[in-house]
C-alpha cells in the first residue's frame, strides 16, 4: 500500500484500498480501535478543547493525548472513563457472544464515574522532576 496521493480525498483512497481483501480483513479487525480514536477526536472538537486542555483535565501530557488519537493504545477502563469525563461523554460497553443474533445474548454496561477508580497519570513531566531535584 502506498501513501495517499496529495489532493485525492481520503474516502476515495480508502475505497480503493478496501478493494484489496488482505487490507480489508485487517481494516475490519482494527475497526473498533479506529472508531474509538475517531470518537476521541470528534468529542474533543465538539467540546472545543485542545489536546493540551484535555491533557490538563485528565492529568497527563498533550503528547499522550496526541498518541491516543493517532495510534494503538492499551489504556485501562478507568483511564478511558476518566478521559471520556474530560470530554463530557459517558462510557458504555456492550458484550455479545459471537455468532448469536438474539438481543437476549447482549449485556450492556454503563459506567458511572464513581464506580471506576481513575487511572494515575502515566509519567510526570521532566520540568516537574527538575523542580523536585532543585527544591
Indicate whether 2 belongs to any domain.
no
For the chain, give the mean pLDDT: 79
Contact (CB, 8 A) for 19 and 25: no
pTM of the complete model: 0.61
Q: Is residue 78 domain-resident?
A: yes
DSSP per residue over 75-127, as a string?
A: --HHHHHHHHHHTT--EEEEEE-TT---GGGEEEEEE-GGGSPPPPPS---HH
- In this predicted structure, what is the pLDDT of residue 135? 46
With a pLDDT cut of 70, the percent of the chain lying above it is 72
Which has the closest alpha carbon to 14: 22, 4, 6?
A: 4
What CATH number did the domain enclosing 112 receive? 1.10.260.40
Host domain of residue 19: 10-120
Identify whether 33 is part of a domain. Answer: yes
Q: How many domains does the chain have?
A: 1
Q: Is residue 61 part of a domain?
A: yes
The three three-digit cell numbers of residue 16, written as one number: 480503493
In a domain, 93, yes or no: yes
pLDDT at 119: 46
Query: What number is the average pLDDT over the span 49-76?
Result: 92
Amino acid at each position: 500500500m502506498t501513501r495517499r496521493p496529495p489532493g485525492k480525498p481520503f474516502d476515495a483512497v480508502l475505497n480503493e484500498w478496501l478493494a484489496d481483501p488482505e487490507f480489508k480483513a485487517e481494516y475490519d479487525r482494527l475497526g473498533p480501535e479506529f472508531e474509538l480514536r475517531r470518537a476521541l477526536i470528534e468529542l474533543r472538537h465538539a467540546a472545543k478543547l485542545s489536546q493540551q486542555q484535555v491533557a490538563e483535565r485528565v492529568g497527563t501530557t498533550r503528547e499522550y493525548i496526541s498518541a491516543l488519537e493517532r495510534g494503538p493504545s492499551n489504556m485501562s477502563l478507568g483511564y478511558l472513563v476518566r478521559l471520556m469525563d474530560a470530554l463530557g461523554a459517558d462510557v458504555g460497553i456492550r458484550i455479545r457472544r459471537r455468532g448469536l443474533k438474539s438481543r437476549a445474548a447482549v449485556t450492556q454496561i454503563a459506567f458511572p464515574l464513581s464506580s471506576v477508580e481513575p487511572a494515575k497519570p502515566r509519567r510526570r513531566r521532566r520540568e516537574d522532576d527538575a523542580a523536585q531535584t532543585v527544591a
